[in-house]
Structure formats: C-alpha cells, structure tokens
Amino acid sequence: MDLPIRRLLRPRDPQEAVELLARHPGALPVAGGTDLVVQLRRGKLAADTLVDLGGLGLAGIAEGAEGLEIGAATTMDTIAADARVRAGWPALAQAASQVGAWPIQCRATLGGNLANASPAADTAPPLLIADARLRLLSCRGSRTVPAAEFFAGPGRTVRAPDEIILSVLLPPRRLGPHATAHERFAKVGPRREQIISVVSLAARIVVQSDGSVGEVALAVGSVAPTPRRARRAEEVLEGCRLTGAVRREAVAALEEELAPIDDVRAPAWYRRVAAAVLLDRFLAEVAGG
Amino acid sequence: MAEGVRVRLRLNGEDREFWVPPGRRLLDLVREDAGLTGTKEGCGAGECGACTVLLNGRPVTSCLVLAASCDGAEVVTVEGLAAATGEPHPVQRAFVEAGGVQCGFCTPGVAVSGAAIVARGVRDAAERARLLSGNLCRCTGYLAVLEALERAGEASDGEA
Amino acid sequence: MARRERTSVPPPGGAGPSPGHHPRPDAWGKVLGRTRYVGDLSLPGMLHAALVVSPVASARLRSLQLAAARSVPDVVAVLTAADIPGANSVGVIFPDQPLLAVDRVRMVGERLALVAARSPEAAAAAVRAVQVQLEPLPAVHDPVAALAPGAPLVHEGGNLIRTFHVVRGDVARQESRATVVFEGEYRIGGQEHAYLEPQGCLVVPEGRQRCTVYASCQCPFYVQQAVARVLGLPLAAVRVIQTPTGGGFGGKEDYPSEPAACAALLAWHTGSPVRLLYPRELDMQLSSKRHAMVVRHRWGADGKGRLRFAEVETFMDAGAYIGLSTVVAERANVSAIGPYHVPAVRVRTHVVYTNNLFGGAFRGFGAPQVTFAGEATMDALARRLGLDPVEFRRRNVLDDRRRTTCTGTKLPRPVLARQCLERAVEAAARTTPTPPGRGHAVGTGVGLVLYGCNLHHGGQRLDRSSAVVLLQGDGSVVVRVGLTEMGQGLLAAVQAVAAQALGVPPQAVEVCLPDTSTVADSGPTVASRGALVAGRAVLDAVRRLRRRFDPVAAQLLGCGPRQVELAGGYARVRGEPARAVPIAEVAAEMAARRIEPIATGWYRSRPRRFDAATGQGGAYDFYATACHVAQVVVDAELGLVRVVRVVAVHDVGRVLHRPALEGQIHGGIVQGMGWAVTERLAVAQGRLENPSFTDYLIPTASDAPLVEIEAIEAAGGHGPWGSKGIGEPSLIPTAAAVRNAVCDALGIELFELPLSPPALVAAQGRRHPFAWLLDRSAERDGPAQAPAAPSPVEAG
C-alpha cells in the first residue's frame, strides 16, 4: 500500500534541501526511511511532503583536522565496516552492526538514527562517549551541537523542523604513553540479533600505567527519556583503581542516575539490573585485562 | 491528486522507467508496477525480510524504501538472481538440494540475502547466521538454510 | 553453531520402502520466486477488502455511521451484519461467533463492518471514516477469575464452556502410598503462529449463484462450509482452491474461514472479485493463538521413585468464542500425564470464555502446555526424591511391559518411549557445553511426549481422506488429495508414496493442491495426519487403478495379472525383472483401448470407543513417542537463555520423505524453543500490545541451536508402510526440555512460560548478584520499583 504522502522532493544539495523544508512547513526529511516509513505507515507520524536526503552527497567518512567526520547519510553497514571507525571508535562500529538486522543496516543512516531520537537508538551512546558533535544546516546557516545536547526527549531533538543533520564529527582521541584504552558497546535484549535495546551501554576507559582510571566515559540507552552520559558513575571511577568496592560503588551511582520506564519490552526494574550487569562486566573486563 | 514521480531503474539487468505515486514503496513498484511478485510482503515494517531485494548490490527491505528515492539505482529481485543464461543462482540450487525450502514465503528474501552473503565470501558460520537474522523463517528452523549457504559458499570458493 | 546432524536406525530386516529424498516438487518454484501465493493473484476489476474492527474487548455496539466511509472515492461497498444473506455465523463447531457483530462486542478485533474498494488505500481510508459508537461493558481477562461467581459474562449462560475429564484408579488409595507429593501451579503463555504469509484470500463470484474461493488455508473444506453458510449457498456452489500457503501451524486451520466469509460477502454484494489480505498487525491481533493456560498439579510418588497418582486441573483461556477450543481441550486433557505409568489419575480440563485473544489450533493442540507442566513436575518430584530426573523417568516411563496410558489404552508393542529417552540422553551426553564467561551457567533438560496420532475420538467423524489418481497416456501421473501443503512437505511425501506404489520416479507424479470440486471432504490438515491419511487414500486409489492396469500390463508381458509388479518405471513379471514393459507403454495401451485411467481412493480410521465422562477408551488411533534433550547456556545475571543443542529422538514409524521429516523436526524444535524463551504475547485489556515482529520475538537464524535427529523406524503407525505423524511431536517436548535445562542451570524451579529475562532474574531472588541494587532502589523509590515476580522456589 502506498504511504499517505502527496509529495516526495529530491533536492540535489543540502542548501536546496533546507530551502525546500523551509518552504513546505510540516514536511519531513527522510534518509534511509527505515524508521520513518514504519511510523508513517502506522499513522504515528503524518506528513504531506517528504524531502529525500539521499541525493545530497552526505554519505561517506572522511578524516580531517577536527577528527573523523561521518556524513549523516552514511549507512550502518558502512560505519560498521570502516577500518578507521573500528580502530578509533570501536563502540560505534559495534553499535552500528547491531541496529536492526543486515538489510536494515544497509539502508539505515547515522543521521536518521539520531534524528529519530529513540531512547534506544544504538548509535547514540557511542557518540556520547566520543564527545561527538553534530553539524546541522538550515536556511539560517549551519551550527554545531554536541551530541550530549542534541536529544530533548523521546522522539524529540533540538533540530529545527527545517534543519538537517549534515554530519557527525568525532574529535580525535589521544592516548598517552603506557595508557591502555578499553571501549565497548553492549546491548541487552531477549533475542541475540535484530532486537531493540532493552538497555545499552557504551563505555570507554583509559587505564594508566599505574592501573588507575585515567579517562572514563559511560553512556546508556533505553533507561531514560534520552540516551545519556552516566556522569555520576564516571566521577566515581575517575582516578580510581578498579577494585571490587569501586566497581560496586560505580554500579550504585549508575543505578541512581537511571530513569527507566516499564513498557512492553521490559519492566523498569529489569533495566536497572541489566544496566548494572553491563557496567560491572565492562569494569571487570578492564580490571582483568 | 498526488503528483506522479518518474523512477528509472536498472531492474534485474534491464533499464526500466516507471511513473508512480510519491508514496509508493519499492516493494509495490516491484510487485505491482513491474509485475515481479516473487518479492513478498510479510510484515510491512522491515522486520521479516520477505521483501528483501538488492539495491545497488546491497540487501534492503523494500517495504521501507520509497520507490522515488531509488531513481537511477540498480535493483535485483529474486527473479533476477539467476544468470542471464537462466541458470539458477548457486544459492537457489543449494536451497533446493539442502531442503532449505518449506512454505516458501520467506524463501525469495532469504535467497536474496543469501546471495549477498555468499557474494561477500563470509566464511564464519556465526557471521552468516548474523547476516541472515533479518530474514525470519518459521518453517525450517534455519538449519537447512544455513547448511545451504555453507554449501553455496564452498561452491563459489571453488570457482574463484 | 547451528548445524544439522542425523542418524537413523534402519527398519528391521530392510523391509518396507526406501524413503523419498528427491527435491520437493514445490521447491524450485518457490526459490525462483515463481510460486503464486494469493497476494500475487489479481484479476481485472478486483476490489480490495478491509475490516472495521473493535478497539475494545467488551462493549455494546450502539451505532455504526457508514455514510462518510461510503463517500470515500473508489469505495464500492460498506457492509454490516444486516447485509448477510445466509447465517451470520462462522464458528467451526459451535454457532457462538458472528461474522459481523450485531449488538455486542466480545473481543478486541471483533468485526463490525466490511469495506471493498478499488484500491487498498481507499479501503483503508474508508475504514478510518467509519464512526463507531461503543458502550464499554465489564470484561474478564483471566480464565480462573472468569469462573468466579459474579464475573462478567462473555456470553449469556456462563463462562465455563465445558470441562473434560480423565478418571482412572483410586487416588486416595494411591496417595496413601506416596511419600512425596508435589503441588504447583503453572502459568503458561499463548503463542502466535507467525506464519510468514499473513491470512489472505481471493473470492471470484459468478453472480450470486456460485463463487470460487482462492485461499491460503489448511482446511479448504472448512472454508467451503463457512462461505456456503454465510451466503446461504449449497456446498456445491462454493468451490475452494487452496493457494500455495505460506505457513500454517494451526493458524490456518479454522481461522481462514473468517476472512474468506468476509471477502465472499463483499464479492456476493459487489459482483466483483474481492481480495482480502491481512496486514501483519491485524493478523496478529485477530487470528487464533495457542491457548494461554493455567495448569495446577498435585502429583505423588512413592519411596521407590514410582508415580502413584496425578491430579491435574487446567484452565484454558478460549477467548471470546469457542472456535476449536473444545477440541484442543480434548487433546490437552488426555495428554496431561505424558508417557508414564500412573495408577491413579484425575484430570479436569476447563474451557473458559474470556475477553482475551482468540484461542485456537496451534501445532501440538493443547499438548505442549500440559507437557510443559507434566515434565516440569517430573523434574520437581525427582528433586524431592533425590533422584536424577532421567532416572526418575526411567522408573515410570511406559514400555513393552507397562504400556497402559492414562486413558486405559494398551499401546501395541513396541512401545518406544524408553528407547527414545535412553538414546536421547546417551547422545546428549557425548558433549556438554561450557559456560562462556562470568555469570553464565549450563544445564540439560529432558522432555518426553506420548503423542496420539491423527484426530481425537471426538473428531473421529472427520478422520477420512479422499484421493484421485490419474494415469496419463505418457505414463506420468496426476494425484489429487484433500490434504494441504503449507510448507510441511505433504506434496513431497504424497509424491513419494504414489511414486513408490506405481513404480515410477517421483518426478513423474504431479500432486495438486486441494480443490473442493475434485476430491471429497477429507477433513482438516491437522494433527500431523496429512501425509498419513492422504498417502493411505492414494494407496487405495492405486490399488483400484491397478485392477484395470495390471490386466493390460499382463497381456503385454504375457503373464498373469497377479504376476505384475511395478518398479523403476516398468511393469514387470514378478521374479523375472528382465521381462518388463515401460509403464508409459502400458498407459498408452490403456488409452488406445479406452480403459478408464483414473481411480479414486478413500481412507478412514477404524472406529473406536471412548467414554467422555471418564476419559477412558480409544482416544487416538495410534501413538508416537519422542524425547528431546536440550542443552542451554544461561546468562544468569541478565536472564538470557541460549539453547545450544537439542537432541531429538522420534519414533516415526517409517520415513516417507527424509528432508521433509528433518525439516519438520528442525522447525518444530525452533518454534517450540521460541515459545519457551522469547515469544511473549503482551495482552492488556484483551489487546495485543506487541502485534509486530519488532516486539513479538520469534527466533532468528542466530538463535538456531545445533539439532541432532535420530528417527527410529519400527513401523507401528497407520500411515503408509507404518508411518506416524511428525508435525506436532517435533514441537511438543521442546519447551519442557528447555525449561528443565534452564532450571538445571540455575538451580531453581520456574512455573511460567515464556522464560523471559525479567522472570529469570526475579526467580533467582536473593541469589542474583545484583539483588542488593533492587533493595536500594526499593528503599529509595518505594516497593513499586521492585520486581513483581512470583516468590522463587529454591531447589531442594
């Protein structure tokens, strides 16, 4: 059955895209469509006009002075397979390979995954721990928004209706001598593949040569209205050695900053336990390795 | 009335042009406009994989793809997997021989994803299963299907 | 990783046919994308149907405003109950269910009106334009609560539909000899079939006198009866042709009659072909489900580890209409004890109306639920006796010595339940999984089943089958049967049987999907009976055909008709294989002499006696046994179950078609595993809250376990050459085996299905390493944050 839209506009560059969005109030931008089409079909979203962002040249990954820049239209399987992402931002590569299933990963874009602003968006926690920034464009010009400030609530972001995501910037990471970085993305769902996260965790810890935690960044998904950093747990861990007591304290701190809900996928209490398990396993792995 | 949109495709190796409503899904273009009913609709939400086609060489769930966004693309459906000579794709042959076909409704999508997996040269069984996990099958328990993919992969390794 | 392994015990003495292993006749069309399912069929002028359904579970229907819907462009018809020319009734057994609601709504998804339009988009717009006024009424959503005094009534006359019984032996006397008694209540969730092809049909009317229905269905004769009843037409005026059917599993047994009657009504009124295809969400909400059940047990065993008595009380949630629930209950009732010798048995099986999802047929037909409970109780008793669960089963399983079932049936020898158990346990022990990491545990569990093949006594009148065999002039053969192919491999099995009987290669035999105008009512394709009863009817038809064929062959061979044997594509003289003539030549000779080359065949099961009041007698025609042993790795901290390996030993009688048999076992195991682990119907106020594959989680390729199959071939069944059914026994014991394995891994007992991650975490109680975390959050936020889980039972 056709989707209930009346117009699909196919701009050829980003400027034309934002002009079309400005000219057609209520129009929605669409990239891979793997989430938007479902919502249109189920009547959860309605739009007269869609603006297709597929032909803007926004797909691709490039290295620059500011770090690694991933175009908003880059698909998940491209991100998951990219050697630079895998080496420098392994949590993002791992997350991208767990968004839906392979046929979705070949179509779903990074920009779309962020713009939908699902609390369960798998690429969000890895970007949060990378201190990523989003480049946005509208008729009013371009701006850069930290990933941590992008999400406003379930399905809501600071993106204006006539604004598009151009790219995501991953600032370069520098590792001191004798320091070891550990990074992982993990998600929990009842099934092994093709599952919407019940809880997800992206975590990065740099261990100094003396065994203490140098840098730490933790972000969780599906346990709050938006994906978010777990700052309190980070504070507990900073500078510490990963003893059993510290791990327990970090897990307790994490639990306090979660605000999960009960829904059809899991009860809130289970999400709390699962988040604790994910964090504790990561810390144990780091401590052990 | 909604405006018609022109969609030019290289569909199963043939250049085709369609005029479709803007809300048409690639799935419906393939099935209704092109008359290629091998591609199935099992859920309409990108979850079952019965509608999988190759879009520019990569598997996608065609129920979530707007046809108009594919203008200029190359699309291969289950009907286009066979060689130009009509010889079935090695994956198709392996499915028949390994008993990987039961009710058959998921089979076109499984065959398309399977062909893409074999083309990737995936040698790890767990990775093959992961890549196939977007194609739900309720009959086979996947065992014969995975065996078929292994066989087809070995066959194509032999040719290379 | 998922892999297939197989072993087979050859038939004694090498007698019997060689099993088919040729490619399925339907495989190439399907894999090339050429098979036409009903959604692939369209006709000029065809209209698209859509349903207006109730969003609430219990209400009075005050009014339907249809004018706006009728004025939607391209809408051709909007119909209500008042437009039905025949009976407004679609219940397959009892007339409690209307096609379209008149004044009362009893379930979410109750049909209120029907739409036909020139496009699916217009039909959907018209559905949205119908204004419905519903006055909510009290509803009941639990089968136990539904029987309490004062519960809201789903139908006048009470919520208890019927109670079935098994009464055997003296419970009080046996209880006095029991040293251990286990009591428990199991709460078992339903299951969605999740066939990949949603419900669909196409009805082509010919005026208002007759119509042809193309339907995705298991039971074309049910569809025929429903359409004829609703339209007020004779059966002969309704022709039903089964289209290639994308999975059934019971979900296309009775249910397709409902969409077919809807489309037929629209076709009757509009005079146009009408196609109705269910969107997935609607399909999942409306179509029948495996019944949710509450099963209460009180079983006792003596100090020697022998079962003395078993009391079972089951509450089956039928939903708002009976459908097939009473028939499902018959099987659940007599399957409640399993393949064990128990001197005293009391089973009560209550079928109860609620305002929940529509309970119906699903692979196993009530047996998987009671088997889950029975096998869980076997493990519970074993633990309390300090016995190994396998050893406890050894002491109680039926065998050639003790072979009387709970219905008083003495099973014919050989009784293979013990062999199935021993071989499965032995094979499973060859390797055991190792825990992959912290917080993981491994476990092994056993599930045994005694499966009554074909229809229960209560459905005996339907246990019949029709076939037509037509020998073409070139020696090729057309076979028509009344049983359906829905993926399980019936075409391949029937092809193998016909080819074997006629001595031709399988490729020479074309087996057609059923058409009600060409074969007699053959009953439903259910109860693992399809290949068996279709095959028997084909053998009968071949026998009759040979009365005409053999004399012609004998003349060509210069021998007596009784000396003719058929093999390898030839008619030949028995004992002198060199004296042979191609079957094609005999066929050509028959054509030349104008000898009738077509024969019909018939099969019916032997009549049996059964006392419904006591549940004693011939419940089934014959029996099969099977044992599954599951090995699991459980992530105890997250409550995640991974089934890594299942060993399945099945008493199959004879293998008719090897790949079809293995495919059935693989599919049954994975479907049973899904039900055990991830498939949860989230029902709230009668509404399914997860009607999509996004949230109703069936197994994917990554979940497939290693499956090892052993098929014991000792004949004993009433299918061709002694074969027995495999479709259902392949699923029935799996969930029980998985549950027992998970309990073994975690050292706890679980009483609910599915084994969801939260349930597994909650069941560990204080033993969970992060229990302290929940204490903290409960202290802070109040007890509402704590898990609402049943109190866990520690293993003894």
The pLDDT of residue C393:
98
* Contact between C33 and B146 using a beta-carbon 8 Å cutoff: no
Nearest to B134 among A37, A41, A194 (CB): A194
Walking along chain A (289 residues) 10 residues at a time, the average pLDDT comes out as: 95 98 97 96 93 96 95 98 97 97 98 97 98 98 98 97 98 90 97 95 96 96 97 98 96 96 96 97 91
The pLDDT of residue C624:
97
The pLDDT of residue C1:
44
* Contact between B142 and C699 using a beta-carbon 8 Å cutoff: yes
Q: What is the 3-state secondary structure (H, E, C) of B58-74?
A: EEEEHHHCEHHHHCCEE
Q: Identify the helix (H) or strand (E) that includes residue C321.
A: none
Q: Is A57 on the interface with B (CB under 8 A)?
A: no
Helix then strand then coil, in percent of chain C rounded to 5, is 30, 30, 40
Minimum Cα–Cα distance from C281: chain A residue = A42
pLDDT digits (tens, 9 = 90+) for C700-744: 999 999 999 999 999 999 999 999 999 999 999 999 999 999 999
What's the gap in Å between the CA of A116 and the closest CA on chain C?
Answer: 16
Distance CA C170, CA C155 (A): 37
Active site residue C168: no
Judged against a pLDDT cut of 70, whether residue C572 lies above it is answered with: yes
Minimum Cα–Cα distance from C243: chain B residue = B103
In 3D space, the residue among C634, C635, C632 whose CA is nearest the CA of residue C741 turns out to be C632
Q: Which of residues 18-47 of A touch C (CB under 8 A)?
A: 42
Report chain B residues whose CB lies below 8 A from the CB of A34.
Answer: 46, 61, 64
Active site residue C311: no
Residue with tokens 């409970």: C373
Q: Is A175 on the interface with C (CB under 8 A)?
A: no
Distance CA C244, CA C200 (A): 11
Give the confidence band of B157 by pLDDT, cuts at 50, 70, 90.
confident
Pairing outcome for strands C47-53 and C274-277: parallel
Name every residue whose Cβ is closer than 8 Å to that of residue C774 and which is 6 or more positions away in sequence: A269, A272, A273, C785, C786, C787
Q: How many CB pairs under 8 A join A and B?
A: 102
pLDDT digits (tens, 9 = 90+) for B88-139: 999 999 999 999 999 999 999 999 999 999 999 999 999 999 999 999 999 9
Q: Is A47 on the interface with B (CB under 8 A)?
A: no
Report chain A residues whose CB lies below 8 A from the CB of B113.
Answer: 102-103
| Residue C22 contacts residue C506 (beta carbons within 8 Å) | yes
In 3D space, the residue among C141, C162, C163 whose CA is nearest the CA of residue C152 turns out to be C141
The pLDDT of residue C644:
97
pLDDT above 70 covers a percentage of chain C that reads 96
Judged against a pLDDT cut of 60, whether residue C791 lies above it is answered with: no
* Contact between C702 and B129 using a beta-carbon 8 Å cutoff: yes
Question: How many other C-beta atoms are found inside a 10 Å radius of the C-beta of residue C795?
Answer: 14
Residue C39, both tokens: 């959604």
Q: Model pTM? A: 0.97
Contacting chains of A (3 CB pairs or more, <8 Å) are B, C
The pLDDT of residue B3:
60
Q: Is C788 on the interface with A (CB under 8 A)?
A: yes
Residue C21, both tokens: 């292993």
Give the confidence band of C373 by pLDDT, cuts at 50, 70, 90.
very high
Q: Which of A79-83, C273-277, C688-692, C786-790 has the lowest mean pLDDT?
A: C786-790
Report chain B residues whose CB lies below 8 A from the CB of A109.
Answer: none
**Residue A27 — φ and ψ, nearest 5°?**
-70, 150
The pLDDT of residue C487:
97
**Residue C267 — φ and ψ, nearest 5°?**
-65, -40
pLDDT digits (tens, 9 = 90+) for C334-344: 999 999 999 99
Q: Is A193 on the interface with C (CB under 8 A)?
A: yes
Judged against a pLDDT cut of 80, whether residue C788 lies above it is answered with: no
The pLDDT of residue B144:
97
Task: Provide the residue count of chain C.
Answer: 796
A173 exposed, middle or buried (CB, 10 Å; 0-12, 13-18, 19+)? middle
What's the gap in Å between the CA of A105 and the closest CA on chain B?
Answer: 8
Residue range B146-159: average pLDDT? 86
| Residue A148 contacts residue A171 (beta carbons within 8 Å) | no
Judged against a pLDDT cut of 90, whether residue B2 lies above it is answered with: no
Residue C549, both tokens: 């064929």
- From the candidates C313, C485, C708, C728, which is the catalytic residue? C728
Report chain B residues whose CB lies below 8 A from the CB of C1.
Answer: 125-126, 129
Q: Identify the helix (H) or strand (E) that includes residue C93.
A: none
Distance CA C398, CA C413 (A): 11
* Contact between A192 and C690 using a beta-carbon 8 Å cutoff: no
Residue range C262-270: average pLDDT? 98
Report chain C residues whose CB lies below 8 A from the CB of A276.
Answer: 770, 773
Beta bridge partners of C444: C631
**Residue A8 — φ and ψ, nearest 5°?**
-125, 115
Q: Which residue type occupies B140?
A: T
Q: What is the 3-state secondary structure (H, E, C) of chain A?
A: CCCCCCEEECCCCHHHHHHHHHHCCCCEEECCCCCHHHHHHCCCCCCCEEEECCCCCCCCEEEECCEEEEECCCEHHHHHHCHHHHHHCHHHHHHHCCCCCHHHHCCCEHHHHHHCCCCCCCCHHHHHHCCCEEEEEECCEEEEEEHHHHEEECCEECCCCCCEEEEEEECCCCCCCCCEEEEEEEEECCCCCCCCCCEEEEEEEEECCCCEEEEEEEEEECCCCCCEECHHHHHHHCCCECCHHHHHHHHHHHHHCCCCCCCCCCCHHHHHHHHHHHHHHHHHHHHHC
- From the candidates C331, C363, C423, C572, which is the catalytic residue? C331
The pLDDT of residue C688:
98
pLDDT digits (tens, 9 = 90+) for C130-150: 999 999 999 999 999 999 999
Q: Which of residues 235-254 of A touch C (CB under 8 A)?
A: 251-252
Nearest to A264 among C124, C689, C701 (CB): C689
Distance CA C774, CA C653 (A): 53
Judged against a pLDDT cut of 90, whether residue C782 lies above it is answered with: no
What's the gap in Å between the CA of A53 and the closest CA on chain C?
Answer: 26
DSSP string, C361-383: --TTTTHHHHHHHHHHHHHHHHH
What's the gap in Å between the CA of B9 and the closest CA on chain A?
Answer: 15
Give the confidence band of C16 by pLDDT, cuts at 50, 70, 90.
very low
Residue with tokens 């046996």: C174
Q: Which of residues 113-152 of C touch A (CB under 8 A)?
A: 120-121, 124
Q: Is C703 on the interface with A (CB under 8 A)?
A: yes
* Contact between A255 and C773 using a beta-carbon 8 Å cutoff: yes
Judged against a pLDDT cut of 70, whether residue C377 lies above it is answered with: yes
* Contact between A8 and B66 using a beta-carbon 8 Å cutoff: yes
* Contact between C27 and B136 using a beta-carbon 8 Å cutoff: no
| Residue C97 contacts residue C91 (beta carbons within 8 Å) | yes
In 3D space, the residue among C381, C378, C346 whose CA is nearest the CA of residue C164 turns out to be C346
pLDDT digits (tens, 9 = 90+) for B30-86: 999 999 999 999 999 999 999 999 999 999 999 999 999 999 999 999 999 999 898
Task: Give CA separation, C636 vs C435, C640, C673, C762, in Å.
Answer: 11, 7, 18, 11
